[in-house]
Chain A
Amino acid sequence: MKILKRTNNVLPGFGPTMGYTLLYLSLVVLIPLSALVFKTAGLSWHDFLEAVAAPRVLASYRITFGAALAAAGINAVFGVLVAWVLVRYPFPGKRLVDALVDLPFALPTAVAGITLATVYSANGWAGKYLEPHGIKVAFTPLGIIVAMTFIGLPFVVRTVQPVIEELDAEIEEAAACLGASRWQTFRRVLFPLLTPSVLTGFALAFARGVGEYGSIIFIAGNMPMVSEITPLLIITKLEQYDYQGATAIATVMLVASFTMLLVINLLQRWSRRYAD
């Protein structure tokens, strides 16, 4: 801690950069989002509860948050693997594969949804082979997970990738010299170094999945209580010109996502300290 205090004085620019950060953050994020909260505040406590805790809404929370967790988990495992392979192993066509990772960002979510539904529905390229085995993807909750995995993947890969690229070969060599096996080196040395970025990627993929709308409605089936996601219920409220009900559900989602992001960010700090 003493060191940190000292360095605070050495590096310049904290005041202006922090000032600008807070200003821009307020203008772009905080003030607009406060509109949401103010609109919701117009509701009485009773109406608020009625809007956000109806059985159908509760079911949608379970589906949305559950699927987002599953998708972020899948991405955390495979995303790290992809990032690792992309940085460390040579193989033909690697650059193309690397570029492919950004696809979910570039493809408009509606196109992604339509395309995924095309590929995974019973008459689609992948669905054709899955359906006979009893695996239904399109128009089931599984479809939601597939869509969320699709849109969340680049978050994990692209947060972990620069960190793997920055990893110093010397650490691994040192570990090897000290007699550690490759697996031990990974588990004891590399993994702790990667954990913060993996957690960040996980958190971002999760957060993105929770809010996603465009791609999911095409593949989810949208059946109430079964495959209806929370953002769809917000749209449903808006269709009834119920702006306050819509913002009430949105506020709940916002608070839930914020809390989870905060917890994961704290966890990440903690793991970084552990790695030090």
Chain B
Amino acid sequence: MHTKNIETLLVALSLATISALPAFAADSVTLQNVSYDPTRELYQEVNTAFAQQWQKKTGQKVTIRQSHGGSGKQARSVIDGLDADVVTLALAYDIDAIAEKGLIKPGWQKELPHNSSPYTSTIVFLVRKGNPKKIKNWDDLVKPGVSVITPNPKTSGGARWNYLAAWAYALHQKGGNDAKAKEFVTRLFKNVPVLDSGARGSTNTFVQRGLGDVLLAWENEAFLAINELGRDKFEIVTPSESILAEPPVTVVDKVVDKKGTRKAAEEYLKFLYSDEGQKIAAKHYYRPTDPKIPSKLAKVRLYTIDQVFGGWRSAQKTHFVDGGVFDQITGAAGRK
């Protein structure tokens, strides 16, 4: 019956997709940037700025296509065949997973300055206007009657930073050790009524549903939420110390070599370190790594994952694998 036509259509469709992918004319180039959720607005601006600069420099027109999603999910997509020229993800752990499959050369994190993180961020608190629960620091989060909103560390990269930041804080208190930190984080998660699967899901729960007294969020996400959703409704509280989040960037070697886009892709990432790139990052409430670029963000004592947890691999293994510390905590934490 209709099958013939449909077959033709299918063939035509796949051909169209195939022909759209390789073989770029020299006067234009398309880059695919696979990134995580909170960077949409940042890269929209970066892409326009880079395209202008690149055309001025080389006469070539560059189009950058964006793809955003949970960091882990995006990494899996690249592993499974999404042709990303560059990946700009939330944690080095996710890029390591891509490197393990041979798509990125080992030692990628040394290719660019500052552990390949052109900008950094940290975890802050978003509270309701006037801060009715008087939340100032991490230890206010574990008080009874305080409701804390954070996504699920098992499914969200951002939530892992939240968790580790709380852990590091407890560890740094007087007489702090792993057992005390575990107890602290257990108490913290007892105050969590909902675990959304992603960072933006949590923001929506906090903002739209009106649930919770405090939202643990990326610093830039907290500012974005305030700008987008109401300056008069929320305010940001910066704790005395927090974790230094280093979202790394790298070129996907296998893809750029195949597509012949290495040069443009590398320049694109270098642009992030340029004055202009750094200024754009600062404007979107990331912390620029170049100390010359002014940042309007509050000074906080920041610890890196390497300092406190000995790197992502070991943090992941101890805390977030099945049966790890987080599972023990929530298994014990229960509800009600």
Given contacts A217-B196, A239-B73, A239-B154, contact A226 B334 (CB under 8 A): yes
Given contacts A218-B201, A240-B322, contact A117 B195 (CB under 8 A): no
The 8 Å CB contact of A245, one of B73, B320, B322, is B322
Given contacts A117-B209, A241-B97, contact A223 B194 (CB under 8 A): yes
Decide: A122 and B209 in contact? CB cutoff 8 A. Answer: yes
Decide: B211 and A235 in contact? CB cutoff 8 A. Answer: no
The 8 Å CB contact of B195, one of A54, A56, A221, A245, is A221
B8 contacts partner chain A, Cβ-Cβ < 8 Å? no
User: Using Cβ atoms and an 8 Å threshold, which residues of chain A touch B70?
Assistant: 239
The 8 Å CB contact of A139, one of B155, B194, B201, B210, is B194
The 8 Å CB contact of A122, one of B76, B155, B211, B322, is B211
Decide: B335 and A240 in contact? CB cutoff 8 A. Answer: no
User: Using Cβ atoms and an 8 Å threshold, which residues of chain B touch A238?
Assistant: 72-73, 76
Decide: B321 and A235 in contact? CB cutoff 8 A. Answer: no
Decide: A235 and B327 in contact? CB cutoff 8 A. Answer: no
The 8 Å CB contact of A232, one of B72, B197, B320, is B197
A121 contacts partner chain B, Cβ-Cβ < 8 Å? yes
Given contacts A222-B152, A223-B335, contact A241 B211 (CB under 8 A): no
Decide: B331 and A55 in contact? CB cutoff 8 A. Answer: yes
B58 contacts partner chain A, Cβ-Cβ < 8 Å? no
CB of B46 to closest CB in A, whole Å: 27
Inter-chain CA distance A239–B71, complex, in Å, is 9
Closest to B321 in A: A240
User: Using Cβ atoms and an 8 Å threshold, which residues of chain B touch A56?
Assistant: 327, 331
CB of B259 to closest CB in A, whole Å: 25
Cβ < 8 Å to B, chain A residues 101-130: 114, 117-118, 121-124
Cβ < 8 Å to B, chain A residues 209-247: 217-218, 221-226, 232, 235-242, 245
B106 contacts partner chain A, Cβ-Cβ < 8 Å? no
Decide: A236 and B331 in contact? CB cutoff 8 A. Answer: no
Number of A-B contacts (CB under 8 A): 78
Decide: B193 and A241 in contact? CB cutoff 8 A. Answer: no
Cβ < 8 Å to A, chain B residues 235-256: none
Decide: B330 and A224 in contact? CB cutoff 8 A. Answer: yes
B208 contacts partner chain A, Cβ-Cβ < 8 Å? yes
Inter-chain CA distance A172–B8, complex, in Å, is 51
User: Using Cβ atoms and an 8 Å threshold, which residues of chain B touch A117?
Assistant: 209
Cβ < 8 Å to A, chain B residues 314-332: 316, 320-323, 327, 330-331
CB of A55 to closest CB in B, whole Å: 7
User: Using Cβ atoms and an 8 Å threshold, which residues of chain B touch A236?
Assistant: 152, 154-155, 322
CB of A236 to closest CB in B, whole Å: 4
Decide: B208 and A224 in contact? CB cutoff 8 A. Answer: no
Cβ < 8 Å to A, chain B residues 70-122: 70, 72-73, 76, 79, 97
CB of A242 to closest CB in B, whole Å: 8
A interface residues with partner B (beta carbon < 8 Å):
54-56, 114, 117-118, 121-124, 138-139, 217-218, 221-226, 232, 235-242, 245
B interface residues with partner A (beta carbon < 8 Å):
70, 72-73, 76, 79, 97, 152, 154-155, 193-197, 201, 204, 208-211, 316, 320-323, 327, 330-331, 334-335
A-B contact pairs, 5 of them (CB 8 A): A117-B209, A222-B196, A239-B155, A240-B154, A240-B322
Taking A223-B194, A224-B195, A245-B322 as given, write out 17 further A-B residue pairs in contact, using a Cβ cutoff of 8 Å, ordered by the A residue number.
Answer: A54-B323, A56-B327, A56-B331, A121-B211, A139-B194, A217-B201, A218-B196, A222-B152, A222-B195, A222-B197, A223-B193, A223-B330, A223-B335, A232-B197, A235-B197, A237-B322, A241-B79
